[in-house]
Structure 1
Amino acid sequence: MSFRNKYAPNNLPRPPHWRDFAVCRDEKPDLFYSDQPTDIEAAKSVCRGCPVQAECLAGALDRREPAGVWGAMSHEERQVVLAPVLAAEKAEKLRARAEAEQARREAREQQAVQAALDTARLLDVRPALGTEGAAGVLAATCAA
């Protein structure tokens, strides 16, 4: 997919990205996605000598990269770093869900109160039937 900007010609070179300077570009990707401890350590050592290690790690953390060695950290190590962030996100979701449920509960209660008031207004026939109102209509209906 090419990037097209209506204000710039299409023949401009792509601006450099941090990946263009990554040392791992010349390595086999399998090294960074291995489950073998020796491969993981070898991948980390490649990362430690990389000029864009920080950018690589930041990108992996932002993307919640699910596998591999990025920025000299394995997935498990990144999970430890992200644990407080993930916990805070989970707490925020739970708080938002509780607030939404409370708002729905209050809306239902308000609807029930409004329905009761509307029903009371419909049944309130005191002006036509005297001071007994709905109770008088009910008593008259039952007596008949």
Structure 2
Amino acid sequence: MRELYLLDGDAEELGWQERALCAQTDPEAFFPEKGGSTREAKRVCLTCDVRDECLEYALGHDERFGIWGGLSERERRKLKKRAV
């Protein structure tokens, strides 16, 4: 499971992580080497009930590595630029 450092009050906000499918799969798939495939992680994200919460977390905390909410870092960067 991904390790996140919780600040006071964050535990309730991060309750979605307990329901995340990535917590039940190989974490290496969500943090591939540069140039590595993201296909497996994105496939898991497609059926995850907390995909939106995951993506919202990544965007709000400026996560720069890994697959979050079904998007790579590059895809999240593009999404943020379009939102501005």
The two structures share one fold, judged by TM-score above 0.5: yes
Q: Select 2:46's aligned residue among 41, 48, 67.
A: 48
Structure 1 residues not aligned, in runs of 5+:
4-13, 89-144
- Indicate the percent of aligned positions where both proteins have the same amino acid: 32
Corresponding residue pairs, total: 73
Q: For residues 56-107 of structure 1, what are the alpha-carbon distances to aligned partners after superposition, in whole Å with 9 as ceiling and x for unaligned?
A: 001001011010000000000000001145xx5xxxxxxxxxxxxxxxxxxx
Where 1:81 maps in the other structure, the secondary structure is helix
1:33 aligns with 2:26: no
Partner residue in 2 for 1:98? none
Shift of 1:22: 0.5
The amino acid of 1:30's aligned partner reads E
For 2:28 and 2:62, locate their aligned partners in 1 and report how far apart those are by CA, in whole Å: 19
* Amino acid of the structure 1 residue aligned with 2:71: M
What RMSD over aligned residues (CA atoms) do the two structures have, in Å? 2.0
Larger helix fraction of residues: 1
CA-CA distance at 1:33 after TM superposition: 0.4
Partner in structure 1 of residue 77 of structure 2: 79
CA distance in 1, matches of 2:51, 2:42: 10
Q: Which runs of 4+ in 1 moved over 4 A?
A: none
Structure 2 unpaired stretches of 5+? 1-5
Query: Normalized against structure 1, the TM-score is what?
Result: 0.46
